[in-house]
Structure 1
Amino acid sequence: MKIRLFDRKKNESKLPFFTPQDLVNIRWFWNNYLVQRTPWLLIVLGLILVQGVAYQQFLSLTESGLRVIFDEGVITDLIQVCAIVFGLFTVRAVTSYVVPRLSTWLAASAVMEMRRDLIEHMMTFDLSYFDRTSPGETILRLVSQAEGLSSFVGQATVNAVRDFVTVIIVSGYLIYKAPVLFASALVIAPAIILILQFVSHNIKMVQRSAENALGAYMNTLEETVNGMRTVKISNQERFEEERLLRSTSEIRALAIRLQAAQATVMPAIDIASAFAYALVIGFGGYMAISPSYDIDGAAIIAFLIGLVMVFDPLRNLAKFFTQLQASLILLDGVNGMNRIKPTITDVEKPLESFDTTGEILLSDVTFAYSPESPLFDKLSMEFRAGERTAIVGATGSGKTTILSLISRLYEIESGKITIGGTNIQDIRISNLRESFSVVAQDIVIFNASLWENIKYVRPQSTDEEIWEAAEAAEIADLIRSRGDMPLGPKGAQLSGGQKQRIAIARAFLRKAPILLLDEATSALDQRTEERVKRALARLAEGKTTIIVAHRLSAISDADRIYVLDQGRAVESGTHQELLDIGGLYHGMYSTQKGEYH
């Protein structure tokens, strides 16, 4: 294992400063979010050029002012030079205010559009993506990494462009004034390049590890907060505290490693710069003394000031390139979401309408969540139009999965699923799913009022329709008593039965022709269950209804009952027919029989 890790690091050390994927990510961000802002970017660049020219003119005026002091001694000329210098720095101060404001606005707008596109793209992901991806990872990409990218593009990158322009303009002036002297200062350039090359890949590796650690921490934190009831009732506060502290310790260690990698750049450049300064002072002093060169003390002093104006931006540029390596990891993480392609998509010319009142058929359906865990192998089932068909079976037999396959939350591997004779893969996904009302066991409740939670499934509903749905689901009295009070995160202030009655009210409100009930009464007491069963019976009138249930009392009056066992439909018939068979259903009923007396 150690050898493999060493080999991986060895290979990573050979990567170029920009990997091919880095270039792809940069082009993606530029083409989609920056290129349309080119006029504004040119304005920013123009202001940056003004800043650079102001520095160059300051350097030229400094040399002129020194000559006034050393040679001419004319006070009016000195006052004129000072006034112009003050004017130049006033211009630079104004541009120094405008450039960050403008660049931050541009970067924030670009990242906002990027977030919008990623959120829109995320909504197309298959349900399987959310099954295998922790919420912390998604939050990390859309929040932390996107925000870090915004700061880097809006501030660090613009500052780097400003420093680069300053280096080019001032260096050009120094080359013009003393090319030999400037060439002697360039001896440090190879050292700076080697330092950056050495440090950059280590920064990338540490930043990638840091992002993974932060994502794991966010996921652990979410698990702890969401499971706080279980944590407290199990008396496991100390365990969760230690688990979170381990994650934070890992983040701290990686942050220190990242800072250590970045910190090696500045001292190395300072030492190289000191060598260049010493070389310029020595050689420049010799040039000023020697009659062989046409250069005086004022020019040497101005040249040294110019070097300061070059080396300080160079230090900032070196720091920028270390930040760039870390930001490339952020960009890759954000673009990683964009590279995810959904597998459940519409066909080229999807059908907008189909016979929602027809029967639903599963014909030789094969499906597996993973190759190692096959679930259905050539499963065939029939759900007759307008009838109530139930599916029962042990946990893990695939009951809920059938509902997911019918609504194309997952894609079958082979076989066919039809509604009214139309293959569901030929129907536009949005139109297909609009035909279902769902009452699921894992109902999602938002931290809003009861009214808003019910209205969520059909925002255009009238007040009368919402009240009608609430009355039918036996939850209208609770709406009157709570008013507009929010329900807490994930409906924490509601009981399990109240949450399911919200789901039932949503189903009434949606008025879809196909009704899917997944353990719709599992959290209700017997008295409430009877009332809700009557409501559901009214809701199911004239609709094709598929019921997934564990409690057989909820489906004893179904028109047909399928019994699943290990992904196969082993029995089917009415309640009485299945009891007469004396098979698996009879055994399940006998086990639960005590509940009905």
Structure 2
Amino acid sequence: MKLRIFGKSSESDGKPFFTAQDRENIAWFWNAYLKKRTVWLLLVLGLILVQGLVYQQFLRLTESGLRVIFDQGAVRDLYKVCGLVFALFFVRGITSYVVPRTSTWLASGAVMELRRDLIEKLLVLDLSYFERSSPADIILRVVTQAQQLSRFVGQVTINAVRDAVMVIIVSGYLIYKAPLLFLTALIIAPVILFTLQFVSRRIKHVQRTAEAALGAYMNTLEETVNGMRTVKISNQEEFEEARLQATNEKIRSLQVRVQAAQAIVLPAIDFASAFAYAMVIGFGGYMAISPHHDIDGAAIITFMLGLVMVFDPLRALAKFFTQLQQQLVQLDSVHSIMRQEPSIVDVPDATDDFDAAADIRLEKVTFGYSADQPLFKDLDLTFDGGKRTAIVGATGSGKTTVLSLLGRLYDIQGGAVMIGDHNVRDIRIATLRKSFSVVAQDIVIFNASIWENIKYVRPQSTDEEIWAAAEAAEIAGLIRDRGNTPLGPKGAQLSGGQKQRIAIARAFLRSAPILLLDEATSALDQRTEERIKGALNRLSEGKTTIIVAHRLSSVIDADKIYVLDQGRVVETGTHAELLALGGLYAGMYTTQKEGYR
């Protein structure tokens, strides 16, 4: 059967309320974060049971008090009933403070551990995961959705358990007092079940779409903020506003649809409850009047009060189950990160013992970002230990990819990447990557001082070591001028040359035996490049240096130059040899040299 909610169809074909994936997600969250807190959860459950018993005893005392009034009992008995009622609600007041305080503490602790595990998982995932996932989507899951899960588990779920316990205990008492009347009230049960079945899957579908829309909105906002310089210089404020508002409107529309589906539940229960109340009043009144039933007015009034105590939390439970469908979507979204498995991992017998100063070789390497479109096929390259080797070529020829393969940011599909006698697959990843220092065009600068930015690559460094690295990179003077002043988001307060010198200082501080220079000076003007080349030359002394460059003036002094074209080595030699060859390199160099005039 297909159901329609505000013009949208939804399948309602008897599928379970909880899918197999839902059950897996709930079991994961329970086993990983809640099971260890079982003792505290049992304490909370015990206090909730106390609250339920308070209401049951309140009904009993209410009936007793009514009989004192109706049967003209002693005033002392009425005072006794009032005193007991006050005592009961005093106990309830204490539990009403302890239960949410404890449950929130438990839930926040569980979600703190969840965030810790999410961060640990993210840091071991392959680079390819981050290349296909937007930062905004990851932030949405780790921050927003995890926090919403904390509130739901610590507040909404505990309140639902309290309501369920109250419904069970009070219903049990009403069944004990008047089973026929309670059976009459059960007429609303099918209405509640049908209504929940009606809206649950629709809510889950719309919520999943809403979460995707929110992720897209955050991603668009991030792009706009990061590209604000381009936005303003291009006079595209109106375009960006329209783009953000369109996504914002979609989110609003989806939220309205979720609320519209949820809004069906409570009115349906209210109408059914009204019918049940009418049935109980009519049938109960008849039973009180009839001499064939042992029930009086006090019992009927108490029963009606008990029904109020049952129906109100029952309404809240129905609302909880609709909210649960939303949270199951968010739980699956968060769990999806934990289900990711890195493909680049240490082999069982990975070694830490290898010669980082040895020759580095790519032997018959086959690699592609997609299996059906290889970038390299049988690629052979050799980087002599202790010498400077450059890789040049057109954009997209695979220059930077070579560097990524050396550090095992990606695994190759064929061939081998060797350092000395060791395949990089056989070297422990952490040890392998500690062997590299990198100076790249795309430099990560944090919103901290220059000092902290340099120290980032080796936090255990002494002040003397950091100052030495800064002096070698010719940035010590700027440190003295700026002091501890933050550099702004992504180093917005620095020039390109200053950022490059921070990267060079990091490389001096790390002092790894293999130096990777990835377009290290391509964004600089010639004068700034000449100033930085001196620092780079000092940095590369005694190290195996691999230079990736588009600007050929930065590779003239290399001991060997590889020219790549569409993933293939087309020329090899020194600068002079390649010029004499008169091939692709010579043509590129001549073109660039004429452009400098």
TM-score if structure 2 supplies the norm length? 0.97
8 Å contact from structure 1 (residues 553, 596) kept in 2:
no
Aligned to 1:4: none
Match of 1:178 in 2: 178
Distance 2:146 2:9 in 1: 27
Q: Name the aligned partner's letter for residue 257 of structure 1.
A: R
Mapping of residues 246-257 of structure 1, within 5 Å: 246-257=246-257
Q: What residue number does 2:350 align with?
A: 350
Structure 1 partner of 2:453:
453
**Residues of 1 paired with 2:248 and 2:382: CA distance?**
53
Structure 2 CA distance for aligned equivalents of residues 510 and 280 of structure 1: 80
Tell me what 1:585 maps to: 585
State the Cα distance separating 1:496 from its structure 2 match: 1.0
d(CA) in 1 for partners of 2:11 and 2:412? 40
Identity %: 71
CA contact (8 A) 1:516 1:547 kept: yes
Q: Which residue of 2 aligns with 1:438?
A: 438
CA distance in 1, matches of 2:479, 2:524: 18
Whether the 8 Å CA contact 2:287–2:295 is kept in 1: the answer is yes
1:110-143 CA-to-partner distances (Å, cap 9, x unmatched) read 0000000010000011111111111111011001
Query: Any idea what SS the aligned residue of 2:71 has?
Result: helix
Please state how far the C-alpha of 1:474 moved relative to its aligned partner.
1.3
Distance 1:75 1:198 in 2: 53
* Distance in 1, Cα, partners of 2:9 & 2:371: 32
Aligned to 1:213: 213
Task: Indicate if the aligned counterparts of 1:52 and 1:170 stay in contact, CA closer than 8 A.
Answer: yes
Distance 2:14 2:113 in 1: 35
| Counterparts of residues 501-520 of structure 1 (less than 5 Å) | 501-520=501-520
Residue 53 of structure 1 pairs with residue 53 of structure 2: yes
Report the alpha carbon displacement of residue 352 of structure 1 after superposing the two structures with TM: 1.5
Mean CA deviation greater in 171-180 or 524-533: 524-533
The alpha-carbon deviation at position 596 of structure 1 amounts to 6.2
Q: In structure 1, the residue corresponding to 2:380 is in which secondary structure?
A: strand
Q: Deviations over 1:403-440 (max 9, x none)?
A: 00100111111110010120000111100000000001
Q: Helix, strand or coil: the match of 1:542?
A: coil
Q: 1:264 to 1:11 in 2, by over 3 A?
A: closer
Distance 1:402 1:44 in 2: 58
Distance 1:388 1:399, change over 3 A: same
TM-score, normalised by the number of residues in structure 1: 0.97
CA deviation after TM superposition for structure 1 residue 594, in Å: 2.9
| Mapped partners of 1:350, 1:541: distance in 2 | 30
Give the match for residue 92 of structure 1. Answer: 92
Q: Distance in 2 between matches of 1:548 and 1:90?
A: 75
The equivalent of 2:231 in structure 1 is 231
Secondary structure of 2:369's counterpart equals strand
Partner of 1:337: 337
- SS at the partner of 1:418? strand
The one-letter code of the counterpart of 1:17 is F
Matches of 1:222 and 1:275 in 2, distance apart?
A: 53
User: Contact between 1:361 and 1:419, CA under 8 Å: does it hold in 2?
Assistant: yes
Say if 2:511 is the partner of 1:483: no
Amino acid at match of 2:444: V
Whole-Å separation in 1 of the counterparts to 2:351 and 2:71: 90
Unaligned runs of 5+ in 2: 1-7
Q: Is contact 2:12–2:197 with CA below 8 Å preserved after alignment?
A: no
Displacement after TM superposition at 1:477 (Å): 0.9
How far apart are the structure 2 equivalents of 1:451 and 1:593?
38
- Equivalences for residues 364-375 of structure 1 within 5 A: 364-375=364-375
Correspondences of 1:297-308 after superposition (within 5 Å)? 297-308=297-308
Instruction: Report the Cα offset of residue 11 of structure 1.
Output: 5.6
Cα 1:257–1:173 shift into 2, 3 Å: same
Give the partner amino acid of 1:360: I
How do 1:377-392 and structure 2 match up within 5 A?
377-392=377-392
SS at match of 1:123: helix
Cα distance in 1 for residues equivalent to 2:581 and 2:522 = 26
Residue identity in the other structure for 1:146: A
Tell me the secondary structure at the aligned position of residue 370 of structure 1. Answer: coil
| Partner SS, residue 188 of structure 1 | helix
Structure 1 unmatched ranges of 5 or more: 1-7
Structure 1 contact 203–322 (Cα < 8 Å) conserved: yes
Q: Aligned pairs, how many?
A: 590
8 A Cα contact 2:10 2:202, kept in partner: no
- State the partner residue of 1:420: 420
Partner in structure 1 of residue 537 of structure 2: 537
For 1:27 and 1:569, how far apart are their aligned partners in 2?
53
Q: Write the letter of the residue equivalent to 1:260.
A: A
> Residues of 2 paired with 1:12 and 1:308: CA distance?
31
**How far apart, CA to CA, are the structure 2 residues paired with 1:11 and 1:65?**
52
For the residue of structure 2 that corresponds to 1:18, the secondary structure is: coil
Q: Which letter maps to 1:263?
A: A
Partner of 1:40: 40
- Residue 556 (1) aligns with residue 556 (2): yes
Alpha-carbon contact 2:33-2:113 (below 8 Å) kept: yes
Instruction: Give how far 1:373 is off.
Output: 3.5
Q: 1:12/1:354 Cα in 2 relative to 1: closer, same or farther (>3 Å)?
A: farther
Residue in 2 that maps onto 1:568:
568
